[in-house]
Structure 1
Amino acid sequence: MSASIDHRGLLQIEDCLDVEGNVVLPPGVTLVSLIDRNIANLGDTVAYRYLDYTGSADGRAIEWTWVQLGQRIRAIGAALQRVASLGDRVAILAPQGLDYVAGFYGAVKAGMIAVPLFAPELQGHAERLDTALRDARPAVILTTRAVAHAVEAFLVRHTYQPSPQLIVVDEIPDSVSQAFTPVDLNVDDVSHLQYTSGSTRPPVGVEITHRAVGTNLIQMILSIDLLDRNTHGVSWLPLYHDMGLSMIGFPAVYGGHSTLLAPTAFLRRPERWIRALSDESRRGRVVTAAPNFAYEYAAQRGLPAAGENIELRNVVMIVGSEPVNMDAITTFAAAFAPYGLPETAIKPSYGIAEATLFVSTIAPDAVPTVVHLDRAQLAEGRAVPVAPDAKTALPQVSCGQVARSQWAVIVDPDAHVELADGRVGEIWLHGDNVARRYWARPEESRQTFNAKLRSRLAAGSHAQGAAADAAWMRTGDLGMYLDGELYVTGRRADVVVVDGRQHYPHDIEDTVAEASAMVRRGYVAAFGIDDDDVVIIAERASGTRRADPAPAIAAIRTAVADVHGLSVADIRFVPAGSIPRTTSGKLARRACREQYLRGEVRE
């Protein structure tokens, strides 16, 4: 970054804190105002870089400066103003890239509500795309030349009322920017609808305001200690996902830049992610984020070639998944320690779309930690530590401390009373980063975003500082506090209940994967049917297509009975790729269960 840059014109963290250190956005701060500041003060420095691997194995770097980004945003905004009105929804159906970034910000700058989605080329998710479009009812769809034909074909197959206009953003000339009419945005205006991943229910649109975005990004910067201006981002996460979107929001707040890759570029060659991190690590601090599987996958298939000069000493890596897996962390850490990866680099974290994203993480100087809890006691809602080698031991990774000016309480979901530390309950959230409501779902919004605590702990309440009549957001996630740190144990909707006892599906799935080499690790779905029956669907591991599943099924039955005390009603082995997953890569257990009940699971 050039020495001539005047950092005084950028957003200052101290301006976002009140006298007590609480996060309070200054008046008039929106995503658009932050970008305008960066254009004025950072000018010709890089805002976003996209590594394009479509035509080259080595990748082609496409860079936009803040000035160039600003021009593209105004041009797209002007094109939108010709065909749509303030508050209209603008859906982005485009591939990963800088045009996607500009389309998102262009919609917001025009005073409309961005709806980050994906092009129909994303295999297996046409139903989710159709659901989101019918729900959001966009006035305009933004796309690019590369996928315009596929988007048009999708719109022919699916009729929407009103019929949206289609704009191809990379066909809008820069000169159109001169026609842009400035819009007076309010900090409590909705900037975008974030559609949930649909892991436990159909996707719904979460209304995210400018206040929520700004607050949450400041909370993230403070929690992870990203105060150094020479901090940049690297991300291959899809831009329609909350975690991916946050990686393009970070530079807007603090003036750094982000390097983006396509998810497919990472999946084909995970070393590309590592190489991009290494390049940025040589320039300064670099932050990235990914779910569990990405760390395991990179450790297996993303190791540098012999003699390759990889440098990871300035990397901060957020791992956020439900729940965070310690094996993924230790495997990755061991694989990349020889390249300078600090033991404090990996940050197990908790986030949720309804909180914009970020809720908690471990301290900047902390290393990931795990406690081992008695499985039977945990099924009863109590966290009782046991030795790591105990037969009943179930590992749980700490997600650290809740972000500043955000509250997370553990609540009895039926009685609505706060539970003491060491007790498992539903996680409820409160803070300016929490979304306003679900789009067009008043009753579901009331139930989720307007929960009331009937009582708090007399001492040690995690609600301390929140107003007595505060509205709380019910996450649907289960968790607990132990020694001052937050642990996430699973989703309420996924819990398997047998004879009144709760069993976490990911725990059963881990047991299944350990029981037989025929199981493709990470591709197992366990769920309940009827009252007490448990069903397991497992994808076959590579090279086992012709193997007789009978011995594996027997081994799985024995292991699940021995570890969990459960009798499994049915076990099915299916080909790789059969188990449905969400657009963010999570197991879609609900969808798998529905397929099973409809008789659509094919062995």
Structure 2
Amino acid sequence: MRGVSPPENAGLPDLLRHWARHGGDRPLYRHLVNGEDREEVLTAGEFLRQVNLLSDDLRARYEPGTRLLLMFPTGLEFLVAFCSALCAGMIAVPIPAVGPNRFARAVPRLLGIVQDCRPGAILTTPALSVMRAVAAETSWELAVPDWRSVVLDPADPRTPSDHFAHSAAEDIAFLQYTSGSTAAPKGVIVTFDNLRNNQRAIGDLISRTDRPTQSVAGWLPHYHDMGLAEKIFGLFHGVPTTFFSPAHFVQKPVRWLDMLSRYKASTTCAPNFALEVCAKRIPEVRRGDIDLSALNYLILGAEPIAASTLDRFAATFRDCGFRSSSYLPSFGMAETTVLATGASLREPVVKSICKEVKIGSLVYPPPNGNTDTRRVVSCGPPPEGHSVEIVEPESKEILAEGFVGEIWYRGPSVGAGYWQSEPSAVSGFNGTLADGRSGYLRTGDLGLLIDQELFIVGRIKDVIITRGRNIFPQDIEHYVAASIDGVSAHGVVAIGSAPEEAESEAVVILVEAHRTLCSTHDNYRLHEIAMEIHKEIQSEFEITVQEVVLVGPNRLPKTSSGKLRRMACHQQWKEELFPRLADSLLQDQGEVRV
């Protein structure tokens, strides 16, 4: 299917027709329903037919530009619905699937999206259509004019029209609601031009002739920017995609590597924590069944990338055929469609910078004699046609290489703004430098450039200032997760607490204990964990932890994509809403109270 290239700048309808014409009987999508061996498959030809049928229905029911909420579990239905909405001239709005058991927790976020984008309908599966009645019974007044079930029926006797709406480059393709890890979710406007340019940039990174992308496999959620890009890459580049749900990975991480091995996948995507979990939880006896020799690109993103995690994963799976040159560290966000920078076809570039970081400070190379450093991983340069600058956020002056500042980004992948947003939010998409150049996205992330490559160090709003020092919570979080046994790999949050009249912030650490500790009610070990965290953070960072709060698995607020919601964690801690397994409060006398 990959052999015949589509026309330059082909739109989505033309791409679907092209792949159906050249290899229409070959699998385009394969969904592993149970995360292992139960397959649902759509060929390129059948995928085009299903998109055509649903697109005909949508055009008959709704006006062009209607926002359609796509509330689907992992599966083929979402992919057909997403492409059908775009081909019908509608605006797709992917959201997580919400069942009765999760409805109460999900309603505030879902209601916020509904009130913001005012959808004309919700497309979902017959099984989830029952949520309409549940929604109607709540006081949230979750009102959407129409709910429509999507069923993929290969025996459907109807003849599709083969007519799709014409969409201009500047027309809106979909709204990507941000994950809300730092604030209320906002709908990023992604145009067809944004989508095409970003997919081209990804293709340029992972479609080298010496190490081509023959197939994609993954488990990231389809309603998240990185997961969506992973799912639709095959539509733009003509390669088959195999996938299963995030829940199947969480339940049994080895399934991911088994999938890569079984289907000889050449490309996959993952956040840092997934590598950490695999390196820790997949035993040596099980690794003998895994073959990663076909894997050319492991795209890393969605959260900070730790050099120690890359080292550990590469060492653990080297005998499985994994090559560390397959790592592709990247930086991106919904506001840049997904990819902003990336580096491939080489060993990861890791630099040691000063551990003490302040905006405008020189951290690389560290001053002579400064051994208080930390390692950071290069996320590569921006793709062709895009640019990145490190900027002092107040003066708007560009900082030289090696200095830390806010990351400003410009290029055709940057979205058109937030849907129905206030002018102050829109201005974040049109930052103007001191020299007068404009059109930059102000990311809110802090980083530096070394040899024209981007290194991430944190977020402006996340910095904890304690006794005159700037501490990035991500450094504390990764250290605790990596060094303390019994702590969930993706369940640590460090926050700053500033009591009234205090001169600096105190550090509070919220920790999800591992499920096995909770099931055995090992209070002694929980007490030990709290004490170890106090001791290790004091030793490594030379700061005093005010409080360690241990909670059960999955108790810390997370976004739909699995990121920890730092602001929500902070608020719930202030309101003492966490059901605590054990508290330890370091008193002036040095005592620990449990």
TM-score (norm 1): 0.87
State the match for 1:191 in structure 2: 173
Partner amino acid, structure 1, of 2:197: T
Q: Measured at CA, do residues 402 and 357 of structure 1 come closer, stay the same or move farther in structure 2, by a change above 3 Å? A: same
Query: Deviation at 1:528?
Result: 1.3
How far does residue 106 in structure 1 lie from its aligned partner after superposition?
Answer: 0.7
* CA deviation profile, 1:219-261 (whole Å, cap 9, x unmatched): 1111233457762111111100111110122111111111111
Residue 23 (structure 2) aligns with: 42
Q: Answer yes or no: is the 8 Å Cα contact 2:492–2:511 preserved in 1.
A: yes
The change in CA–CA distance for 1:521 and 1:481 in structure 2 (over 3 A counts) is same
Residue 564 (structure 2) aligns with:
587
Q: Could you tell me which residue of structure 2 aligns to residue 370 of structure 1? A: 350
Moved more, 544-553 or 270-279: 544-553
The separation in 2 between residues aligned to 1:157 and 1:35, in whole angstroms, is 41
1:104 aligns with 2:97: no
| Deviation digits for residues 398-441 of structure 1 (CA, Å, limit 9, x no counterpart) | 11222121111111111111111111111111100110010110
Between the aligned residues of both structures, percent identity stands at 29
Matched, 1:264 2:238: no
Shift of 1:320: 0.9
Paired residues of 1:506 and 1:526 also in contact (CA < 8 A) = yes
After TM superposition, give the deviation of residue 496 of structure 1 in Å. Answer: 1.2
Q: CA deviation at 1:552?
A: 4.3
Equivalent residue, structure 1, for 2:585: none
Structure 1 gaps of 5+ residues are 16-25, 456-467
Matched, 1:415 2:386: no
What is the match of residue 537 of structure 1? 510
Aligned counterparts, 1:19-418, within 5 A: 26=9, 29-53=10-34, 58-121=36-99, 123=102, 124-157=105-138, 163-170=144-151, 174-175=156-157, 178=160, 182-226=164-208, 231-281=214-264, 286-302=266-282, 305=286, 308=289, 310-364=291-345, 366-377=346-357, 381-385=361-365, 392-418=372-398
Aligned residues: 565
Taking the aligned partners of 1:216 and 1:145, their CA distance within structure 2 comes to 33
Rounded to whole Å, the distance in 1 between the matches of 2:468 and 2:298 is 39
Distance in 2, matches of 1:483 and 1:217, equals 25
| Distance change (3 Å), C-alpha of 1:162 and 1:519 | closer
Q: In the aligned structure 1, how far is the partner of 2:511 from the partner of 2:288?
A: 39
Distance in 1 (CA, whole Å) between partners of 2:373 and 2:65 is 52
Residue 266 of structure 2 aligns to a residue in which SS?
strand
How far apart are residue 127 of structure 1 and its match? 2.7
Aligned to 2:592: none
* Structure 1 range deviating more: 299-308 or 181-190: 299-308
1:479 is aligned, of 410, 431, 447, to 447
Residue 515 of structure 1, CA deviation: 6.6
Q: From the superposition, tell whether residues 310 and 6 of structure 1 become closer, same or farther in structure 2 (CA, over 3 Å).
A: closer
Determine the C-alpha separation between the residues in 2 that align with 1:165 and 1:499.
56
- CA distance in 2 between partners of 1:322 and 1:266 (Å): 17
Residue segments in structure 2 that go unaligned for 5+ positions in a row? 499-503, 581-594
Report the Cα distance in structure 1 between the residues aligned to 2:309 and 2:320, rounded to whole angstroms. Answer: 18
- In structure 2, distance between residues paired with 1:294 and 1:421: 31
DSSP-derived class of the 1:595 partner: helix
Q: CA deviation at 1:385?
A: 4.3
What residue is the counterpart of 1:489 in the other structure?
A: 457
The CA distance in 2 between the partners of 1:95 and 1:536, in whole Å, is 33
**Cα distance in structure 2, aligned partners of 1:6 and 1:225:** 13
- What per-residue deviation string (whole Å, max 9, x for no partner) do you get for residues 360-389 of structure 1? 12232x1113222221255773313459x9
Q: Is the Cα–Cα contact under 8 Å of residues 538 and 573 in structure 1 kept in the other structure?
A: yes
Amino acid in the other structure paired with 1:492:
I
Equivalents in 1 of 2:320, 2:536: separation in Å? Answer: 38
Answer with 83-92 or 526-535: which moved more: 526-535
Residue matched to 1:464: none
Counterpart of 1:546 in structure 2 is 522
User: Residue 243 and residue 118 in structure 1: after superposition, are their counterparts in 2 closer, same or farther (change >3 A)?
Assistant: same
Distance change (3 Å), C-alpha of 1:31 and 1:493: farther
Distance in 1 (CA, whole Å) between partners of 2:136 and 2:348 is 46
Structure 2 counterparts to residues 432-447 of structure 1, below 5 A: 432-447=412-427
Give secondary structure in 2 for the equivalent of 1:128.
helix
Which residue identity lines up with residue 301 of structure 1 in the other structure? R
Is the Cα contact below 8 Å between 1:372 and 1:393 reproduced in 2?
yes
Q: Distance in 1 between matches of 2:323 and 2:110?
A: 40
Please report how far the alpha carbon of residue 506 of structure 1 lies from its aligned counterpart in structure 2 after TM superposition.
1.2
Alpha-carbon separation, structure 2, partners of 1:556 and 1:235: 34
The answer on whether the counterparts of 1:120 and 1:154 sit within 8 Å (CA) in structure 2 is no
Residues 407 and 447 in structure 2, CA contact (< 8 A), matched pair in contact too: yes
1:438-517 to 2 correspondence within 5 Å?
438-455=418-435, 469-513=437-481, 516-517=484-485
Shift of 1:394: 1.5
In the TM superposition, what is the alpha-carbon distance from 1:539 to its structure 2 partner? 2.1
- Distance in 1, Cα, partners of 2:16 & 2:222: 18
For the Cα contact (< 8 Å) 1:322–1:488, is it kept in 2? no
Q: Which moved more, 1:192-201 or 1:81-90?
A: 81-90
What CA RMSD, in Å, does the superposition of the two structures yield over aligned residues?
Answer: 2.7
1:482-538 Cα deviation digits (max 9, x unpaired): 233210111222111234532100112234446754544432211113352322212
Please say which of residues 482-491 and 179-188 is displaced more in the overlay.
179-188
Change (3 A) 1:233 1:560: same
Cross-structure match for 1:20 = none
Q: CA deviation at 1:175?
A: 4.3
Q: Note closer, same or farther for the CA distance 1:112–1:543 as it changes in structure 2 (3 Å cut).
A: same
TM-score by length of 2: 0.88
Change over 3 Å in CA distance of 1:192–1:156 after alignment to 2: farther
AA in 2 matched with 1:305:
R
> Is this contact kept in 2: 1:93–1:151, CA < 8 A?
no
The alignment partner of 1:288 has SS state of strand
**One-letter code of the match for 1:46?**
P
SS in 1 for 2:286: coil
Structure 1: distance between partners of 2:360 and 2:66: 48
Does the 8 A contact of 1:291 with 1:321 survive in 2? yes
- State which drifts further: 370-379 or 512-521: 512-521
Distance 1:515 1:588 in 2: 22
Q: Is the 8 A contact 2:327 2:344 kept in 1?
A: no
Equivalent-residue separation in structure 2 for 1:314 and 1:51 (angstroms): 19
